[in-house]
Structure 1
Amino acid sequence: MDPDSVKSTLSNLAFGNVMAAAARDYQKELVAQQKSQASSSVSQEVDLDELMDDPELEKLHADRIAALKKEAEKREAMKKKGHGEYREITEGDFLGEVTGSEKAICHFYHHEFYRCKIVDKHLKSLAQRHLDTKFIKLDAENAPFFITKLGIKTLPCVILFRRGIAVDRLIGFQDLGGKDDFSTKALENLLIKKGFISEKKQDEDEEDDGNHENRRWAVRSSVNSDSDSD
């Protein structure tokens, strides 16, 4: 055989061996990577299981559920007292309404007064947002006894009651810039300053805009689950 031909054949065999070896090494590397990924996945699953079984995490979860249940119970108790909505009452209901809650805001109004309707709009909005305080209104024409006893001479008049005692009042719009176009926020800030409603946090506002309904369902489901387990 021609020496050059022999040399060429040997060279080709050597190149083929190198390529074959490289292919085997590449395949081994792929298998190793797959094993490593599988091992990592198992490790993550184990870590997750360990996390779910963490007694401290379980306690935090239980505490959160308990807090939500307590809040839901408080809201229901407040609603039974007439909180959460802006309601019309009669003179006969008045004493029971203002003495039956820690804080009550009563608007004495006249149905023909434009400014009274402005107050109605703002108080209706605030009543839905501030459940701790009762919001009610009373037609001044139908409540002559309390109009006299409370010395009400100008309408609209919003009187603030704490445990049935009149502690402050808003007469007309004099505390709101004297103009008809004041905002609900302006009235809200004034009532916060007077200590009759609490300042709401941003996350609470977001809940009021839609998330609170979902949370209420979550609490209700949790309560039902606990009842079923009993």
Structure 2
Amino acid sequence: MDPDAFRSTFSGLAFGNVMAAAARDYQKEMLAQENAPASSATNQEVDLDELMDDPELEKLHADRIAALKKEAEKRQALKRQGHGEYREISEGEFLGEVTGSEQVVCHFYHREFYRCKIVDKHLKALAPRHLETKFIKMDAENAPFFVSKLAIKTLPCVILFRNGVAIDRLVGFQDLGGKDDFTTAALENILIKKGIIKEQKDSEEDDNDDDGDNSKCRTVRSSETQDSDSD
């Protein structure tokens, strides 16, 4: 055989074998890619099934549902006791209201005193934010017995009760810088420090405002008389 012809034939055979091998490798790679998603999906389904059957996960889920249900029931019970709103009560209702809740904020006011109206504005904003505490007010003129028993000399006077016992009080604006233009946040912080309300953890602070303003930034216009507390 002619050497040149032999080399040409051998080169052709070698090239053909390389192409055949490449074709086989390509086919294997394509098959592997086609099978990969199905295999991954199968593994994922198995993992999900295992998670759904995990008794610890099921227990955590059940405990969470039970906790949410208990919290909702507690909130409803507090609302039935008058929590969540700032209400006016009569002298005859006072003992039942104060002893009926663990924590109570009671504002003794006079309807003609400007500073009492300022306190009303702030307590009305705080009541829906602190469901754990009851917020009430009582006209001091119509409650002479308790005004005397509690030794109330100056209005506005906010008395804090725990389990029916007066534990502290805010007289006038002494704890608020003596000025009328304090913010709701300032009063809120004082009540938190005195332990009658809890510090809020959430970031929704303006849902309960009547005019859409943030209660933490709300102020009330100062009166012409700086020291307007009245005996």
TM range (shorter): 0.7 to 0.9
- Pick closer, same or farther for the CA change 1:157–1:34 going to 2, 3 Å: same
Task: State the match for 1:184 in structure 2.
Answer: 184
Of all paired residues, the percent bearing the same amino acid is: 79
Task: State the match for 1:103 in structure 2.
Answer: 103
- Pick closer, same or farther for the CA change 1:141–1:194 going to 2, 3 Å: same
Task: State the match for 1:175 in structure 2.
Answer: 175
Q: Deviations over 1:187-208 (max 9, x none)?
A: 222112111112232xxx1467
- Pick closer, same or farther for the CA change 1:18–1:83 going to 2, 3 Å: same
| Structure 1 residues 102-121: aligned runs within 5 Å | 102-121=102-121
* Structure 1: 5+ residue stretches without partners: 211-230
- Pick closer, same or farther for the CA change 1:116–1:8 going to 2, 3 Å: farther
Q: Deviations over 1:88-121 (max 9, x none)?
A: 1122211111111111110111223222222122
Instruction: Return the letter of the residue paired with 1:101.
Output: S
1:116 & 1:198 partners in 2: Cα distance?
Answer: 24
Task: State the match for 2:145 in structure 1.
Answer: 145
2:203 & 2:8 partners in 1: Cα distance?
Answer: 79
Per-residue deviation, 1:17? 5.9
Task: State the match for 2:130 in structure 1.
Answer: 130
Aligned to 2:96, the other structure's residue is in SS state helix
Q: Deviations over 1:5-60 (max 9, x none)?
A: 99779867765664454344223202112212321221111011101110001111
Q: Deviations over 1:50-72 (max 9, x none)?
A: 01110001111111111111111
> If each structure's helix is expressed as a fraction of its own residues, which one has the higher value?
1
Aligned to 2:120, the other structure's residue is in SS state helix
1:112 & 1:126 partners in 2: Cα distance?
Answer: 22
Task: State the match for 1:55 in structure 2.
Answer: 55
1:110 & 1:23 partners in 2: Cα distance?
Answer: 97
2:59 & 2:151 partners in 1: Cα distance?
Answer: 55
* Structure 2: 5+ residue stretches without partners: 208-231
Number of positions where the alignment pairs a residue of Structure 1 with one of Structure 2: 207
Which deviates more from structure 2 when the two are superposed, residues 18-27 or residues 165-174? 18-27
- Pick closer, same or farther for the CA change 1:113–1:12 going to 2, 3 Å: farther
- Pick closer, same or farther for the CA change 1:32–1:149 going to 2, 3 Å: same
1:121 & 1:11 partners in 2: Cα distance?
Answer: 99
TM-score by length of 2: 0.78
**Aligned alpha-carbon RMSD (Å):** 2.6
Which deviates more from structure 2 when the two are superposed, residues 66-75 or residues 142-151? 142-151
